[in-house]
Every structure is written in structure tokens, then in C-alpha cells.
Amino acid sequence: MGWILGILLALVIFFIIVDILDLNRFVVRTRKVVSDKIKKPVTLVFLSDLHNQCYGKENKKLLRAIAKQAPDFVVCGGDMIIGQPGRENGNAVRFMDEIARNYTCFYALGNHEYRTAVFPDTYGKMYEEYTTPLKEKGVVFLRNEGVFLEEYNLEIKGLEIDKHFYKKFTVVPMEDNYVEDTLGKKNEECFTLLLAHNPDYFPKYEKYGAELTLSGHLHGGLVRFPFCGGIASPAVRFFPRYNGGMYRRNGKTMIVSCGLGTHTLPVRIFNPGELTVIKIEPAE
């Protein structure tokens, strides 16, 4: 019996060490997408779920890694802050300020920014205090709207879904036409990049016609193992289907970032933060 307890204790210590290491490091993952709708190659950095994390003083490690990629622009999938009443999000504010100073940035809200925006009675001026300085520096916030980049024949759209689609324990059904009713019809002549924070609804994003959807939200499943991927969701569900990586459905692609930080549960085991680099190239 003693040796069993010894093994269990050793495993607990091992997983604690891995968790501490993975909570304080990130990896760079590069994904490639090819389309005959793209006019010229484009490299972008996708940021998601920082949750006020800091890698090195003033996030210098993360900023250096982004600069090394020399992106044409940066897209943000949301949850860079922690949406809690009275929360101080200084790391996220300073990091996004540096992003805004150095790159063109398109930003769709995650559920944390969303709730600070729609519930001011609870969160006060948190949303305005975070977003107004970034808007002044040129960050483009896409709240159920899009921007067309003619140079690439690329349209970036930011989808903001209702709070009930973030319900815990279950995936709430989404109406078939919800995305189109929210964003308007897709332009079939251009490549559409959809920023949609919650990956659970990939079948709906694919039906809308987005050639590429970028999501986050699930933090890589918190704990990742070979062959089974992420094992849990911050929404308290086990083995979420779209927990991290690249997925394809009917010729459409979704890339799910494992995110850069955590909130509430400080758990990232075999699951370091992820800086996602995406290269979109014309078909030959």
C-alpha cells in the first residue's frame, strides 16, 4: 500500500511541476491555408485568451516572438482581459498598447470583453477604459461587422454571439441562419476570415461559408494528451470536440488556438500557451 501512495504522490508532484512550467511558457505554431481567392500571400499573428498573462517583464518575450514573425497584421480573437468586477488588467492593457503601436490590429470580442461591454451595471467602465485608448491608436474592433482588405481580396469579420451560447455544461443549439442574420450575407467573391471566439459552433461557421475561422476560448482543453487532445473545457465539459488545432469541414477550415493564458483554474498541463502564426497563400 505504501508504494502505491508513493507513486501517486510522485505523479502529483510531477503534474504540478509540468503545470507550473506550462503556465509560464508559450510555443509558436504556424498554420498554412491555401485558397484561389487570395490575391497575394499574407502572414498574420492570431492572439487569443491572454487573460492578462505576462511572459517576461512587460510581455517582452511575447512581443519579441511576434516581431520575429514579421506579420502583415495582427488579429485578436478575444479574452485578452479577465472580465471580473474591479479586476485590474494592466498586463493586457500594456501588451495591447504595444501591439497597437506596431501593427495594424483587428479585434473581435471574446466572452470576457463581451460581458464587460453589455453589463456596465456590473463591470462599470471597464470596457470603455480598455478599448477607447486602443481605438485611438488604430485597433479596429469588429462587433458583428467586417473590413475588406482589397490588397489580398480578404474580408475579416468579427462575430459576437449572445451570452447564452457560452452556457456551462452544455453546447446550446444555434439556429441555422444565426451567423448570417448576425453578420449579413457572405461575399462569395472574396476570402472570408471569421473571428469567432467560441469554436463549438464550427458547423454553423462552415455553413455560413467562411473559408477560415479563427477561434480560441477552450484553452486547449486545459490538459492535453497524445491522441485525445484536450480533456476539459472551461465551460465544464469533458473532451470538447474542437479543443485546439486545425479542423476541416466541407472544404472550410477552422484553426483553434490553445490560447496564451488562464483564468479561475490555473491549469495548463502538456499545454503551454500558444502564439499562432497563419500564412494564407494563393493556390498555384
The domain segmentation of the chain, as residue ranges, is 2-282
- pTM, rounded to two decimals: 0.95
| Percent of the chain topping pLDDT 70 | 100
Query: Is pLDDT above 70 for 243?
Result: yes
Count the residues in the chain.
284
Taking 80 as the threshold, does the pLDDT of residue 284 lie above it?
A: no
pLDDT tens digits, one per residue of 133-162:
999 999 999 999 999 999 999 999 999 999
> For residue 46, which phi and psi values (nearest 5 degrees)?
-110, 120
Distance CA 218, CA 269 (A): 14
Q: What is the pLDDT of residue 6?
A: 80
Residue 1: per-residue pLDDT? 65
Closest CA to 154 of 194, 126, 98, 95: 194
What CATH number labels 2-282?
3.60.21.10
pLDDT tens digit sequence for 9-48: 889 999 999 999 999 999 999 999 999 999 999 999 999 9
